[in-house]
A and B are shown apart, each in its own frame.
Chain A
Amino acid sequence: MKSLILSALLALSATPVLACETFTLGDLTIEHAWSRATIGADRPGVFYVEITNNGSTDDALIGIATPAAGMPMLHETVVTDGIASMPHAMSILVPAGQTVEMAPGGYHGMLMGLTATLAEGDIFPVTLTFQNAGEVVVNVEVLSLRAEGPDCDDAN
């Protein structure tokens, strides 16, 4: 019974709505924008998002900006020969007709210089700048520290 209640609670807490919001910019569809709760504001936060290019020309994400952090940057986690490093990514290519997922273990935004602790349930805006499509502001939902991604009905 206890485990039943626990699973019910987990199921409830795993149904965020905002991270499932979809944003459109020209041929680009941007969804599943989320972040993880942080412990204080001294350690960097993270930003993940999924970008689909429905057009016929390649585009690239060239920068992110947010009032939540003084120094947001694009990074990529790379595991080479069993060693993980996190080089700075100058830009993230979004090829025509493809979806690029910024997700744990790959591309991510590193939010350095947080202005405040990111608490579960918080929402903050991030401006994405694309080489061709220009700028769009998306709402980012802060999920729990242990979240692995938003649980959207359309997620696949």
Chain B
Amino acid sequence: MRLTRLQKILWAAAGLATLAYGLLVLLPNRTPEAVPQAAFRPTFTLPDAAGRMRTPAEFTGQHLLVFFGFTNCPDVCPTTLSEVAQVMDDLGDDAALVQPLFISIDPERDRRLGLAEFTAAFHPSIIGLAGDEAQTRAAADSFRIFYAREGDAAAPDGYTMSHSPALYLISPEGDWLRQFTYGTPATDILADLQPRL
């Protein structure tokens, strides 16, 4: 079949339009929320409240529920940690198969304010981790999450933190499985988690 010149031009235009559409669809999704399903292994080397160094290796065999936050956060962080606490209570005997982790993105201040009492107030099973600047940045990068310190004269100590507020699920082998966006009810998290255990 021979194409007329007009047909060639039309096909070329259609091709360009498809490309442009593809770009439009893909570009706005380049946010941390759109992390693909492809497996990757987030990692961390961070001290807990007692100063003991913790890494994913010791949690092999357990699912990890990981939240990055800061203890000076009055709204988002208590809400998410309350959901995590509810999930841990509702898991019953399966709770031993899941380890919740709270990774501080404001480690210096959180250490000063008390990390262990903060996590324990929500649930005794939650382990709080707070490293130095480099360790924290490395962990966040490996989870592909964002956090930043923002100057705010009206905030306590003159700054606040912005951060990815989702909850991340890691497999017993250490693979990233999925995220639960901020505000996901505990019942939904539980329903996703239970068949995996």
Interface residues of A (CB under 8 A from B): 36, 39-40, 42-46, 71, 73, 75, 77, 79, 81-86, 88, 104-105, 108, 110-113, 145-148
The closest CB in chain A to the CB of B146 belongs to A83
Shortest C-beta distance, B77 to chain A (Å), equals 9
Q: Are B163 and A83 in contact (CB under 8 A)?
A: yes
In the assembly, what is the distance between CA of A86 and CA of B86, in Å?
A: 25
* Interface-lining segment among B8-16, B47-55, B117-125: B117-125
Q: Are A86 and B160 in contact (CB under 8 A)?
A: yes
* Interface residue? B82 (CB, 8 A): yes
Q: Are A83 and B114 in contact (CB under 8 A)?
A: no
Q: Are A36 and B78 in contact (CB under 8 A)?
A: yes
Residues of chain B with a CB closer than 8 A to A146's CB: 78, 82, 85-86, 122
Given known contacts A45-B74, A84-B164, A39 and B121 CB-to-CB distance under 8 angstroms: yes
* Interface residue? B136 (CB, 8 A): no
The closest CB in chain A to the CB of B73 belongs to A86
Q: Are A148 and B71 in contact (CB under 8 A)?
A: no
Q: Are B72 and A44 in contact (CB under 8 A)?
A: yes
In the assembly, what is the distance between CA of A146 and CA of B83, in Å?
A: 8
Residues of chain A with a CB closer than 8 A to B85's CB: 146
A-B contact pairs, 29 of them (CB 8 A): A39-B118, A40-B113, A40-B114, A42-B113, A44-B74, A45-B74, A46-B75, A46-B78, A71-B154, A77-B75, A79-B165, A81-B32, A82-B32, A82-B33, A82-B146, A83-B32, A83-B164, A84-B76, A85-B150, A85-B160, A86-B162, A104-B79, A108-B74, A110-B74, A110-B75, A111-B74, A112-B156, A113-B156, A145-B78
- Report which of A73, A77, A105 forms a contact with B154, defined as CB distance below 8 A: A73
Residues of chain A with a CB closer than 8 A to B166's CB: 82
Shortest C-beta distance, B76 to chain A (Å), equals 5
In the assembly, what is the distance between CA of A112 and CA of B156, in Å?
A: 7
Shortest C-beta distance, A63 to chain B (Å), equals 13
Interface residues of B (CB under 8 A from A): 31-33, 71-76, 78-79, 82, 85-86, 113-114, 117-118, 121-122, 146, 150, 152, 154-156, 160, 162-166, 181-183
In the assembly, what is the distance between CA of A71 and CA of B158, in Å?
A: 13
Q: Which 6 A-B pairs have the closest CB atoms?
A: A82-B33, A85-B162, A84-B165, A46-B74, A146-B82, A81-B31
The closest CB in chain B to the CB of A77 belongs to B75
Q: Are B79 and A105 in contact (CB under 8 A)?
A: yes
Given known contacts A43-B72, A43-B113, A85-B150, A79 and B182 CB-to-CB distance under 8 angstroms: yes
The closest CB in chain B to the CB of A43 belongs to B72
The closest CB in chain A to the CB of B89 belongs to A6
Q: Are B114 and A39 in contact (CB under 8 A)?
A: yes
In the assembly, what is the distance between CA of A6 and CA of B163, in Å?
A: 35
In the assembly, what is the distance between CA of A135 and CA of B162, in Å?
A: 33
The closest CB in chain B to the CB of A111 belongs to B74
Q: Are B183 and A145 in contact (CB under 8 A)?
A: no
The closest CB in chain B to the CB of A76 belongs to B75
Residues of chain A with a CB closer than 8 A to B118's CB: 39
Residues of chain B with a CB closer than 8 A to A88's CB: 152, 154
Interface centre among A44, A83, A147 (most CB of B within 10 A): A83
